[in-house]
Structure 1
Amino acid sequence: MAVEQKNLTELKNFACELGADSAVLLDAQIIEAKENLAALCQKPRCPNYGVAASCPPHVGGPKSLKKQLPSYTKALFFRLMAKKTDVYSAKIHDIQGQVHTIAASLENRALELGFDKARAFAGGSCKNMFCADQPDCNVTARNGACRNPDLARPSMSGYGIDVSALAKAADWPPLVVNNRAAGKEDFIPLYGLLIVG
């Protein structure tokens, strides 16, 4: 048990070394996978719906995650604070790409540490971040191999993961961090998640 806790602490610290602004360990059982949240990918239709393997309908969705969650014990939830002006610009794909990269790196490190069921999630379509220069997703268009399997991770939205509930459990503000009163720029959190068992 002491080794597991040491490894979890190492993963938490590693998230921040990789660029996360903050990371917190939570019980995996608090993760909620909600059908109504996953349905938002389809109605109103997200422009990324069906475009890449990391998004619906190409991911297992809430039902699949609900079946898997009992075999997980801990969750590492991390955030990256991005300037609001960057989030609402072409820079968003680079920022989301960083979240995917952190999540993938955490998953790989967790596997190295012996968490053999480690699984990471991020936000946004991997197509926009890693294959924007390609006409389509190799997985969805040709049933081929992913061009970026070491970076791309499935969308939390596609699994209906209640990110607001996780942010609340982490005691983080879920929306815009308003700094205007202090004469500074506003920030928006982007999240990633690693589950281990």
Structure 2
Amino acid sequence: MWHVFTIILVALFPFHSSGQSLTNPGFELDSISGTWETTSSITGWGGGASGRMLIAQGSPDWGGLSSGSGAYYHGLQGNTGSTFSTTNITGLTSGSAYTVALLTARRPDYSCEPDLGVSVDGTLLATFSPTSAFAVVAVTFTAAAASVQLQVANDSPVSKGDCTLFVDFFEVELAGVQGELRGQPLGLCHDAAVRVCERAARSSSPGTVAPPQVCPRGYVET
């Protein structure tokens, strides 16, 4: 059975949480001396000892990307088979559905397409193929307790080589709460005839281009 999850297209503005939260959602509680640094210690986030990086916005060593949020973003290098980071989402109500949204991208100067896996409490909810510019992806889950563990992983096989991906700006909302989103026509992602996700286009300010829609692998936007 397919998990139902929501894909949301928004501009780079925060949602407003109503109790649920995670520590260091934008990777701004640590600092580095250069434009990037490999580290196994990121405040609020656990994970493997290798392939985890804190990267300054616009770092030329990683393609000059900027997420538009804060000073840093998190890199997961994909030449180890599975590089991952985990954090706890707290303040949840057991049995309620929540949406986690985040920004993600891949190295624009590499042709390799990494595999971003997003899991909650060990259950894989979706796998995405990040684009060469930061875009928003989201998954929806039902909380089994007041706290759950969120994992983001670069699941690219070793055979792909250096398939690095980046994540930033995690937000958690009750499912169906639009927060900063405005009432716009819905687009749909489908697998064959089954509707599995929705997105809502956020109104852009004049001159602002919203990030592209990213559907999960195996689904297409209509």
Name the TM-score, length of structure 1 as normaliser: 0.30
Name the TM-score, length of structure 2 as normaliser: 0.28
Higher helix share: 1
Q: Higher RCO, 1 or 2 (CA under 8 Å, sep at least 6)?
A: 1
Higher strand share: 2
